[in-house]
Amino acid sequence: QTTRRFEFNVEWKNVTRLCSTKPLLTVNGEFPGPTIAVYEGDHVEIKVTNRVAENTTIHWHGVKQLRTGWADGPAYITQCPIRGGKTYTYKFTVEYQRGTLWWHAHYAWQRATVYGALVIHPRMPFPFSTPIQEEFPIIFGEWWSSDVGKVEAEMKNGAGPNSSDAYTINGLPGPLYPCSNKDTFIKTVEHGKTYLLRIINAALNDELFFAVANHTLTVVEIDAVYTKPFTTSAIMVGPGQTTNVLLTANQVPDSSGAFLMAAWPYLTSVFPFDNTTTAGFLRYKNTKGDKTKYPPKAPSTFAPEKYNLPKMEDTKFVTKFNYKLRSLASPRYPCNVPKTFDKHVVIVISLNLQDCPANKTCKGYAGKRFAASMNNQSFVRPALSILESHYKKLKGAEYSTDFPEKPLKPFDYTGVDPVSENLNPKFGTKIMEVEHGTNLEIVLQGTSFLNTENHPIHVHGHNFFIVGMGFGNFNATKDPAKYNLVDPPERNTVAVPTGGWAAIRFKADNPGVWFIHCHLEEHTSWGLASGFIVKNGPKPSQCVLPPPDDLPSC
C-alpha cells in the first residue's frame, strides 16, 4: 500500500475578481485549492496547518472514511476545529471507490473559497470502450464581493437568502460578468480527441445546469461511482455532487476557433437568487481562430438556450436526467442496494419561520426569523465533537439520540403552504443511533413551504442508493412498488426533487458519527441537518479506530 502525503496551509491570499480585490481564505494560496490525486487503495495523509486566526477544518467530501471518522472533518460532529497556528493530519485510506470527489472546509462558510478536486484513479482499467486522451476538472463556485463571514452571521440570525455576485468555473467568472474577460476559463482541445471532464459543484447555494455549445456530454460516473453511460446535451449538478462526462472534440469551430461552455442555475424560485451565467471556452488547437485574440468574446445578446443550456426552472429536464442515472451493475461493479430494510425513517426537510426572540429584531420575513429543520428539529452544533463524546462515553454530552424517526404530525407537505405547521421548529442536537449493519431506508420529503427548492441532501461516511423519487407526498403503500432495486444510482448527495420526495437505502456499516445535511449552505446555517451514530459491530474490524494523537481539542 502506497502512502501519499500532502501539505495544506490554510492562509489568506489577495485575489481580484470583478475588478475588486479582497483577501480570500485559501489552501496554499491557490484558488480553487490544489487537486489531490491518489490511487484507489492508497493511504492518504494530509497535514493541515492553520495559518490564520479563525478556526478551520477540512472535509473529504464523499470519501467513505471506513472506521476513520476522526478524519471526516465536519466541525463539532467528528472533530473540534483546528485553531489558529495548529496542525492536524487527516489520515484515511481510499477504498472501494474511484472517480471524482472533492474536498472543502467544513467550518462556517469557509467552503466559499476553500475547496478543490479529489481524484481517485482506478486500480482497474476504465470500464468503457472510449479511450480518454486527457482529463481536466470543471469546478463551479461562487464569488462573493461581500465578506462571506458577515453573510453567514446574518443568516444564522435568521436573515433571508443573499446572493453571490458571480458563478465561477475553476475560480473564473468568465466574460458575461463585468470586468472579467481576462478571468475566463479556456481549455485548448485537439480535434478528434476525447476528454474526461471532472465536474464538481462547489457552489454554496445553487444547483447548476452545464453545457458546451454544439457538443454532447456522455455521463459515465457520479459521486465517484460508475454509471451506465448515456449521452445528453446538458447536465444538472447540485452542490456537493460530482459528475464525470466524456466529450469528444468533433466539431468545426467558426472564426473564433472556440465554443462556449456555460453554467447557470436550475432554480431561481421565489427569492431573487442569482440568475447569472458563468462561461468559459473550448478552444480548438490549430484552427484559424488561433490567430484571433483570446478570450473570445461572449455573444452580446446571450441566450443560454442556444448553447444547449436548459431553461431555468426546467424541472422536466431534471426529472428525465435523474431517471437516466443508473448504476453500472456489472459483474465487476455490482450494485449492492439492500433488497429489504431493517429500519424505515421519514425525514421532512423544511424551511421554517421562527418567532423572533423578545428584545431582538429579526431580518427574516414578517418580523420573524428564518430557520430550517428535519422533522421540525433545527440542528444546533454542540460545543464538543459528537464523535469524541460518543467514543469516550463522556457524561453530559450535548446531544441526544432521540431524533424523531417520522414527522410528529403528517400533513400535506407539498400542497398549499401549511404555514402553521412550519412555525417554530425546535432547536437542539438530536441525532439517530443504529446498530452496525442496519439496512436503512430514509424517505426525504420536501415541502412547499416558503419556496420549493431542490434540496441536495448529503450523507457523510456512506454512499446510498436512490431507489425512488417522485412529486407530491410520499405514498407508503403505492410508491415502494415502483422502486428501482436493480440498478439505482449510488451517490453521496441526492437532489430531492422540488415539491417531492426521494427514497434512499444503504447499509449503515461504517461505525462512527455521521453528519447528514442540506448542501445548500444557507439551509445548513438555518439548521437543515442532523446526524446518526453507527454503533461498533461485534468484530474488532467493525469498530471505530482510536483517535489520532493530534486530534484537535475544543
CB of residue 42 vs ligand C2O: minimum separation in angstroms? 21
Given the rule CB under 6 A, which of 397-405, 431-439, 498-506, 512-520 is the region that contacts ligand C2O? Answer: 512-520
CB of residue 253 vs ligand C2O: minimum separation in angstroms? 37
- Please state the φ and ψ torsions of residue 190, each to the nearest 5 degrees: -110, 140
Given the rule CB under 6 A, which of 131-139, 160-168, 391-399, 514-522 is the region that contacts ligand C2O? Answer: 514-522
Q: Which residue lies nearer to ligand C2O by CB, 104 or 381?
A: 104
Cβ-proximal residues to 303 (8 Å cutoff; 6+ apart), any chain: none
Alpha-carbon distance of 488 to 338, in angstroms, equals 11
- Are 217 and 194 contacting, i.e. CB atoms less than 8 angstroms apart? no
Given the rule CB under 6 A, which of 15-23, 221-229, 355-363, 515-523 is the region that contacts ligand C2O? Answer: 515-523
Q: Which residue lies nearer to ligand C2O by CB, 390 or 519?
A: 519
Site string for ligand C2O, 219-258 (x = CB under 6 A): ---------------------x------------------
- Are 170 and 139 contacting, i.e. CB atoms less than 8 angstroms apart? yes
CB of residue 75 vs ligand C2O: minimum separation in angstroms? 10
Check residue 90 for interaction with ligand C2O (CB under 6 A). Answer: no
Lateral strand order in the sheet of 493-496: 432-434, 529-534, 512-518, 455-459, 493-496
Q: Which amino acid would we find at residue 373? A: S
Check residue 61 for interaction with ligand C2O (CB under 6 A). Answer: yes
Tell me, by CB under 6 A, how many residues bind ligand C2O. Answer: 11
Lateral strand order in the sheet of 217-222: 166-169, 134-143, 194-201, 242-248, 217-222, 225-232
Alpha-carbon distance of 137 to 117, in angstroms, equals 7
CB of residue 57 vs ligand C2O: minimum separation in angstroms? 10
Lateral strand order in the sheet of 278-284: 186-189, 278-284, 258-265, 208-212, 235-237
CB of residue 59 vs ligand C2O: minimum separation in angstroms? 5
Q: Which residue lies nearer to ligand C2O by CB, 215 or 519?
A: 519
Radius of gyration of the chain (CA): 23
Alpha-carbon distance of 427 to 424, in angstroms, equals 9
Q: Which amino acid would we find at residue 179? A: C
Q: Which residue lies nearer to ligand C2O by CB, 118 or 211?
A: 118
Residue matched to cell numbers 476557433? 257
Cβ-proximal residues to 16 (8 Å cutoff; 6+ apart), any chain: none
What residue is closest to ligand C2O based on CB?
Answer: 61
Check residue 507 for interaction with ligand C2O (CB under 6 A). Answer: no
Q: Which residue lies nearer to ligand C2O by CB, 206 or 421?
A: 206
Q: Which residue lies nearer to ligand C2O by CB, 74 or 446?
A: 74
CB of residue 115 vs ligand C2O: minimum separation in angstroms? 9
Check residue 295 for interaction with ligand C2O (CB under 6 A). Answer: no
| Beta-strand relationship, 529-534 and 512-518 | antiparallel
Alpha-carbon distance of 172 to 31, in angstroms, equals 9
Residue choice 81, 517, 523, 551 for contact with ligand C2O (CB under 6 A): 517
C-alpha dihedral (43, 49, 54, 59), degrees to nearest 10: -10
Given the rule CB under 6 A, which of 85-93, 401-409, 438-446, 511-519 is the region that contacts ligand C2O? Answer: 511-519
CA distances from 103 to 111, 139, 397 (A): 9, 11, 29
Site string for ligand C2O, 406-425 (x = CB under 6 A): --------------------
CB of residue 554 vs ligand C2O: minimum separation in angstroms? 19
Q: Partners of 3 in the beta sheet?
A: 43
Check residue 59 for interaction with ligand C2O (CB under 6 A). Answer: yes
Residue choice 74, 404, 446, 499 for contact with ligand C2O (CB under 6 A): 74
CB of residue 459 vs ligand C2O: minimum separation in angstroms? 9
C-alpha dihedral (181, 520, 61, 125), degrees to nearest 10: -70
Q: Which residue lies nearer to ligand C2O by CB, 74 or 257?
A: 74
Which grid coordinates belong to 530? 442532523
Cβ-proximal residues to 513 (8 Å cutoff; 6+ apart), any chain: 69, 77, 78, 385, 386, 387, 390, 431, 531, 532, 533
Check residue 137 for interaction with ligand C2O (CB under 6 A). Answer: no
Alpha-carbon distance of 526 to 88, in angstroms, equals 28
CB of residue 471 vs ligand C2O: minimum separation in angstroms? 26
Check residue 106 for interaction with ligand C2O (CB under 6 A). Answer: yes
Residue choice 283, 455, 458, 523 for contact with ligand C2O (CB under 6 A): 458
What size, in residues, is the chain?
554
Residue choice 67, 98, 104, 283 for contact with ligand C2O (CB under 6 A): 104
- The burial class, CB within 10 Å (0-12 / 13-18 / 19+), for 505 is buried
CB of residue 330 vs ligand C2O: minimum separation in angstroms? 28
CB of residue 483 vs ligand C2O: minimum separation in angstroms? 27
Q: Which residue lies nearer to ligand C2O by CB, 127 or 382?
A: 382
Q: Would you tell me which residues interact with ligand C2O (CB under 6 A)?
A: 59, 61, 74, 104, 106, 240, 458, 460, 515, 517, 519
